[in-house]
Amino acid sequence: MAKRSPAKRLRTIDGRFTSLERLVRAGFQQTESRFRGIESRFRAVDSRFRGVELRFRALSSNIGAFRKQTDTRFRVVHLELRNLRKEINDSLGGVGERIDRLANHVDGFTKLHETLDIEMKVIKEQMNRFDQRLSRLEAAQAS
């Protein structure tokens, strides 16, 4: 068996604790540096989220403004349609009166036509009677 060097064998408990302490401190320092790196990454993510939040707020205000404009425009269109409907109803009211007058005139013309037709038949019958009398008179004078 090979002999060990006396320097290694003589390590005392204090020496072992010191080296263990160094090892633990080194591990804590590594862990702390890793946590600092993670923390800086979280800060970067937080700043990005703040930027996204600002963009959403701007977008929300733009949408709100667009919504107000759209509501205003729809109100204007609604008023214009209401005015147009009123104008159409007013003009159709005048057309209705004209149609009523026209219907009255047509009824009057129809009545006049019927009256004239009746008078024409009466006159025709009178002419037929006059023709018959004339024929009798001519026949009586010829005999």
For 80-92, write each residue's pLDDT tens digit: 999 999 988 888 8
For residue 143, the SS3 value is coil
Q: What radius of gyration do the chain's Cα atoms show?
A: 59
Which pLDDT score, from 0 to 100, does residue 52 have?
A: 94
Tell me if 143 is assigned to some domain: no
Q: Which two tokens stand for residue 115?
A: 């009256």
Residue 102 lies in a domain: yes
- Residue 103 DSSP one-character state: H
Q: Say what percent of the chain tops pLDDT 90.
A: 71
Question: Against a cut of 0.85, is the pTM above it?
Answer: no
Residue 21 domain-assigned?
Answer: yes
Task: Judge whether 53 lies within some domain.
Answer: yes
Overall domain count for the chain: 1
89 within a domain of the structure (yes/no): yes
- Alpha helices for the chain (secondary structure H): 6-9, 13-142
Task: With respect to residue 116, please indicate whether it lies within any of the assigned structural domains.
Answer: no
Residue 4 is assigned to a structural domain of this protein: no
Mean pLDDT of 113-129: 94
Look up tokens 């009586």; give the residue: 140
Residue numbers of the domain that contains 70: 16-111
Residue 85 lies in a domain: yes
Mean pLDDT, range 103-112, rounded to an integer = 93
